[in-house]
Chain A
Amino acid sequence: MRKIETARAQNKVVNYAKIIMTDWRLYALLLPMIIWYLLWMYKPMGGLLIAFKNFQPNLGIGGSDFVGFSNFISLIAGPYSEQFWSAFRNTFLISLYGLIFGFPIPIILGILFSDISNVTFRNITQTFSYLPHFLSEVTITGLALTLLYHGEVNTGVIAKLLFETNLVPDGTKIIQNANYFRPLYIITGIWKEAGYSSIVYFAAIMGISPVLYEAIKVDGGNKFQEIRFVTFPGMAPTLIIMIILRIGKMLSVGYERIILLYNENTYKTADVLSSFVYRIGLEGSNQALGASAGMFNALIGFALVMGANFISRQVSETSLW
């Protein structure tokens, strides 16, 4: 029995080799990408081991001692636990607010764009609203920090506007004030991405058959009924995919903008898991602790995508894979 199985397995390998030999050009085209992924995406995954080790840079990952879950335990209950849980809470809150305020705006924009019949006006406004997406985080945070600056001599124009409209008490140092960090982060995020994200919804709406709109019109439906009964169902699959993606990313708030915007005075509300990882793992040099916090973050994130995808498949037959 075993002989036959081995022979079969060998045969299979021989066959694969044959296929690859005759079609080597196709595999040659694939190879660079695979090597790239192995070297730069999969190889570092081995480095996750340091989350379980007492990492010492001079010994390397392989040479350092295993310490089991002690890094995780010290994160959850040790000297860094206060910072860790605060970062955890901030990550969750920033994501949640981002979802509540950030998610509907591109959808509304998509609907509005689809209702504009003047093509020139639409093209121009769309072009303008996509633009911030292509600016760098350094540019955007640079703008935000300068526009919101409040110093002795000069005050940024947006800060001035906020003071004059009493949205923010006069003289507040917005960038240095922990109370304003989350709105700042979320509003800059919306400013940067809302226009661009609306492309997907706009396209979904454009894909809806005009016949359906005719039909509801004949039935005497008004604009709001039209949106409710035609536009929304028509864009539902896109909506679901986007919400899964969003939920999947709940715990991976981008670190670049956070790191560029926050400062010691705003850590309390601004520090998220990824900026925490950066601060203790790279700025400080507690790599092992950083890696375990990062891994913790990634695993929950992964579970979230899986969960969201599973639920969506049950409810709507739409899923990512």
Chain B
Amino acid sequence: MNRLNKSEIIFKMLAYILVGAFAIVALYPVIYAFSASISGKLEYEAGKIVLLPKNINFQVYKLIYNDKGFWISYVNTLFYTVFGTAWSMLISTTGAYALAKKRLLFRRQFNFLVVFTMWFNAGMIPTYLNYVNMGVNNRWGIIFAFGVQAYNIILLRNYFEGVPKEIDEAARMDGVTEFQMLRKIYMPMSKAALATVTLFYATSRWNGYFWARMLLKNPMELNLQVYMRILIENYRKMFDDMPINLPYATDAYIYAILVCSIIPVLIIYPYIQQYFARGVNLGGVKG
């Protein structure tokens, strides 16, 4: 280990402090939301909650637990996330695999077809009219019409291009078909990239709001984000009709809803987190 000079020591200390501070700021609202959701009404309204909860009770979660709409939207979101991600991955992986092959006819043109959409698209109104025109107003519409992203396809394609040609050729000599090649050779060799892209698709499905709100007409098909937003828009009014002696503050309800929407992210995130930094870098931003 080299000896550090003075400017380096100062810089290092600064780095630790600033990075630590940023991490705390990033995490704080999430911790606060949880604390606020389980704190007592008086403590919350007196502004005594800063980080840790006081006078803990989980009553507000009971309210959510008994809310049928919440569970319906939760299950719907799980459904959209699982099937939607599967669909997006299916198209992206097969497409990216083909695009990675130099022998593909019109390879440049196909690539352009995908990349171009990163710079120019029809825009909100024509896109909306197209969805309406194609009858995207239910569960399956939301699954099939959404969620393929050029960036992810490029990321996978670049990763697939990195698979050594020799392996590909050797397998071809053994009479392996394209499907087998993709499944048995390319996919196992690209686990990090696949995990990354899966995570991207899954979060965008889990978090999808705008189009779901625009297109879904049946209240039984709403996803969590839309349901949550409607609750956020109305919650202060909703509590006007409720008994005053509740053990939690009105805001606790919103914080609890937000916490419920974050939990799945928190559970899955640590497992995939290790992959994506690597995946993102290898894919690069190059078109």
Chain A residues with CB under 8 Å of chain B are 16, 19-20, 23, 25-30, 32-34, 36-37, 39-48, 50, 61, 108-109, 112-113, 115-117, 121-122, 124-132, 134-139, 142-143, 145-147, 149, 151, 153-157, 160, 191, 194-195, 199-200, 202-203, 217, 222-224, 241-242, 245, 248, 255-256, 259-260, 274, 277-278, 281-282, 287, 290-291, 294-295, 297-298, 301-302, 305, 320-321
Type the 1/0 row for B2-36, where 1 means its CB is closer than 8 Å to any CB of A.
Answer: 10010110111011101110111111011011001
Q: List 8 A-B contacts (CB under 8 A).
A: A32-B95, A33-B98, A34-B110, A131-B26, A135-B207, A147-B29, A147-B32, A255-B210
Whether A278 contacts B281 by the Cβ 8 Å rule is no
Is B130 positioned at the interface, with any CB of A under 8 Å from its CB?
yes
Whether B94 contacts A33 by the Cβ 8 Å rule is yes
Other contacts beyond A16-B105, A277-B123: 20, CB < 8 A: A26-B178, A29-B98, A30-B95, A33-B94, A44-B129, A45-B122, A48-B126, A128-B26, A129-B22, A130-B273, A136-B207, A146-B232, A157-B47, A160-B47, A199-B276, A241-B285, A248-B119, A281-B128, A282-B124, A294-B126
Contact of B214 among A30, A153, A260, A282 (CB under 8 A): A282
Instruction: Please give, as numbers and ranges, the residues of chain B lying within 8 Å of A155 by CB-CB distance.
Output: 47
Contact of A125 among B23, B29, B30, B33 (CB under 8 A): B23
Instruction: Please give, as numbers and ranges, the residues of chain A lying within 8 Å of B47 by CB-CB distance.
Output: 154-155, 157, 160
**A137 vs B96: C-alpha distance in the bound complex, in angstroms?**
29
Q: Provided the pairs A47-B130, A135-B265, A154-B251 are in contact, do residues A27 and B125 lie with their beta carbons within 8 angstroms?
A: no
Instruction: Please give, as numbers and ranges, the residues of chain A lying within 8 Å of B125 by CB-CB distance.
Output: 47, 50, 277, 281-282, 287, 290-291, 294
Task: Pick the interface stretch among B58-66, B162-170, B187-195, B253-261.
Answer: B253-261
Q: Provided the pairs A23-B103, A138-B209 are in contact, do residues A149 and B122 lie with their beta carbons within 8 angstroms?
A: no
Whether A305 contacts B258 by the Cβ 8 Å rule is no
**A5 vs B15: C-alpha distance in the bound complex, in angstroms?**
68
Chain B residues with CB under 8 Å of chain A are 2, 5, 7-8, 10-12, 14-16, 18-20, 22-27, 29-30, 32-33, 36, 44-45, 47, 49-50, 90-92, 94-99, 101, 103-105, 110, 113-115, 117, 119-130, 134, 145-146, 148, 153, 177-179, 182, 203, 206-207, 209-210, 214, 225, 228-229, 232, 236, 249-251, 254-255, 257-258, 261-262, 265, 269-270, 273, 276-277, 280-281, 285-287
Whether A134 contacts B265 by the Cβ 8 Å rule is yes
Instruction: Please give, as numbers and ranges, the residues of chain A lying within 8 Å of B103 by CB-CB distance.
Output: 23, 26
Whether B104 contacts A30 by the Cβ 8 Å rule is yes
Q: Residue of A at shortest CB range from B120?
A: A302
A257 CB to nearest B CB, Å: 10
Main secondary structure of the interface of A (DSSP, over half): helix
Whether A282 contacts B128 by the Cβ 8 Å rule is yes
Q: Residue of A at shortest CB range from B179?
A: A25
Q: Residue of A at shortest CB range from B115?
A: A321
Q: Residue of A at shortest CB range from B280?
A: A199
B9 CB to nearest A CB, Å: 9
B23 CB to nearest A CB, Å: 4
**A37 vs B126: C-alpha distance in the bound complex, in angstroms?**
15
Instruction: Please give, as numbers and ranges, the residues of chain A lying within 8 Å of B269 by CB-CB distance.
Output: 131, 134
Instruction: Please give, as numbers and ranges, the residues of chain B lying within 8 Å of A109 by CB-CB distance.
Output: 19, 22
Whether A47 contacts B98 by the Cβ 8 Å rule is no
A318 CB to nearest B CB, Å: 10
Q: Provided the pairs A26-B178, A142-B258, A277-B125 are in contact, do residues A320 and B286 lie with their beta carbons within 8 angstroms?
A: yes
